[in-house]
Amino acid sequence: MNAEGQPTRFIRRGDHLSERLDDGVVILDIGNDRYFSLGGTGSFLWSLLEEPREIGELADALTSVFQVDRPQARFDVEIWLRDLLSFDLIQNT
């Protein structure tokens, strides 16, 4: 929850370049001279973060496409978001 009591939403940072490839997504962090590669579920979730999304929305999307139960999907999404936040690839809205 944010300061206003609303669910936290996440979105890609606008200052990184990303490109969809056959087997995933490559993200270029020009400011820090780094690149990242996402495949499978990471690539799928990255595509959803073009717009602000809540953790629950992302977990629901995972369960609708991949064979994973809701509690596990939410757990996995939380870890994935924490990792992307630590690399400054996404931001809270």
Tens digit of each residue's pLDDT (9 = 90 or more) over 50-73: 999 999 999 999 999 999 999 999
Q: Which of 1, 4, 90 is nearest to 48 (CA)?
A: 90
- Ordered domains of the chain (ranges, CATH): 9-92 (3.90.930.60)
68: alpha, beta or left, given left = phi > 0 and alpha = psi -120 to 50? Answer: beta
d(CA 26, CA 36): 6
pLDDT-derived band at 7, boundaries 50, 70, 90: confident
- Which among 26, 50, 24 is positioned nearest to 36, based on CA atoms? 26
Predicted TM-score (pTM) of this structure: 0.89
What pLDDT, on a 0 to 100 scale, did the predictor assign at position 1?
57
